[in-house]
Amino acid sequence: MRSILLSLILLFNFALAENTAPDNAVYAFNTEAQSARFNDLISQFRCLVCQNESLADSNAGLASDLRQQIYLRVQQGQSDADIRHYLIARYGDYVLFKPPFTLNTSALWILPFLSVLAGLIFLCIKIQKRSRI
């Protein structure tokens, strides 16, 4: 039992080390405008591992790879729209912090409102039942 517990602790530590590894990549740009574009772009995209962090904030390996891809494309002179289309084609609309309202993403936009509405209806029903008693 002790060895299983120790193994789980070690596995957990390795998993944490993988997700919190510092990003040692240095991004050198020719102009300040390229640097500003890069920083703006990496703040617009979601880390697919962390999910609630932008690529700028995440230290996950995938986030580092995506930052590198964006860096290379900015260096090549691709437009923001081209970079955006590339990432969406590869990872879907979920990579965006603000996904567009489409049939595929409608649940992302509608479910929070439906959940609040259902909670309010439930609360009203409970209040009415208590007032009758």
Structural domain for 106, as ranges: 101-133
Q: Please, what is the Cα angle at 63 between 21 and 113, to 5 degrees?
A: 120
In this model, does residue 63 exceed pLDDT 70?
yes
Residue 105's pLDDT is what? 73
Q: Which residue is associated with the tokens 């909670």?
A: 119
Whether residues 73 and 130 fall in one domain: no
Whether residues 125 and 72 fall in one domain: no
Residue 130's pLDDT is what? 86
CB crowding 83-92: b at 16 or more within 10 Å, else e: bbeebbeeee
Whether residues 63 and 118 fall in one domain: no
Q: What is the CATH number of the domain that holds 78?
A: 1.10.8.640
Give me the amino acid identity at 57.
D
In eight-state DSSP terms, residue 54 is: B
- Closest of 107, 110, 42, 122 to residue 80, by C-alpha: 42
The predicted-structure confidence for 69-119, as pLDDT tens digits, reads as follows 999 999 999 999 999 999 999 988 888 877 778 787 777 778 889 999 999
Whether residues 29 and 54 fall in one domain: yes
* Averaged confidence pLDDT in the chain: 82
Reported as type and span, the H/E element at residue 91 is helix 80-91
**Residue 77 near residue 106, CB atoms below 8 Å:** no
Q: Which residue is associated with the tokens 């999910």?
A: 51
How many structural domains is the chain composed of?
2
Whether residues 67 and 15 fall in one domain: yes
The predicted-structure confidence for 20-47, as pLDDT tens digits, reads as follows 444 546 777 778 888 999 999 999 999 8
Whether residues 62 and 89 fall in one domain: yes
Local confidence band at 12 (pLDDT 50, 70, 90 cut-offs): low
